[in-house]
Amino acid sequence: MNGVEKIVRLCDRWWAELSHSKSETMKPVALEWLDHLGWSAQEPIFLEGAACGFIETSVTGQRIVFYFTMPGELDTPSFMIEKGLDYCESTLMLVGEAQLEKHDYAVITDLNRTYVYDAQTDDLILHSDSPTIFVQNVMPELLKENVDLGALEEVRRSPASYIARQLRVWLQRWVTVLSREPYGSEAVANSIMDRILVMRFLYDH
């Protein structure tokens, strides 16, 4: 059985036993998951919002933090992206923590859904909705041997024009939703969204 099959089987086994899963049982599963990617647990971390976490360092000195959450704490990435967002509540908090600790990348997974962020730029660079999609689209870039060769730096980022277009679409979508609320209007909805953008800017700076 190769590494790809082992990862899928490990994740499927973990999710099949959800009714018996506790946060303390996540650590050995997380360690096995990391091992299949070629990483050895170097530096464990503990924080609210993740069952367990580990900091890994590539041969080039990049710091990658792996956060493992319990099932049900992560929204499906494709669902969030469809809404015009690249964060769910849990990943927003954990990426913020990664930035405070000066990590270069943050990998957040519940062993079913996975988000990979460039913690320096806030960009969601890789994601998957299931273990099968993970091994196809995400796993190659997270293998230690590939990370050591610069795989994460080579992942294509969305250009600024595309990100700006996403923001416009997201704003317009929420303006439309808020305008339908009782006593709502397009002017009021635009005002609300403007304030949200200002608050986000102030939070980031």
CA distance 135 to 156: 18
pTM (two decimals):
0.77
What order of strands is seen across the sheet that includes strand 105-109?
43-45, 52-57, 63-68, 105-109, 114-118, 123-128
CA nearest neighbour of 152 among 27, 35, 66, 26: 66
pLDDT at 47 over 90: no
- For the stretch 156-196, pLDDT in tens is 776 665 566 567 767 777 888 788 777 578 888 878 877 87
Q: How far apart are CA 25 and CA 162, in angstroms?
A: 41
From residue 121, give the alpha-carbon distance in Å to each of 33, 40, 161: 26, 26, 16
- Per the CB < 8 A criterion, the answer to whether 98 and 106 are in contact is yes
Question: How large a percentage of the chain has pLDDT more than 90?
Answer: 41
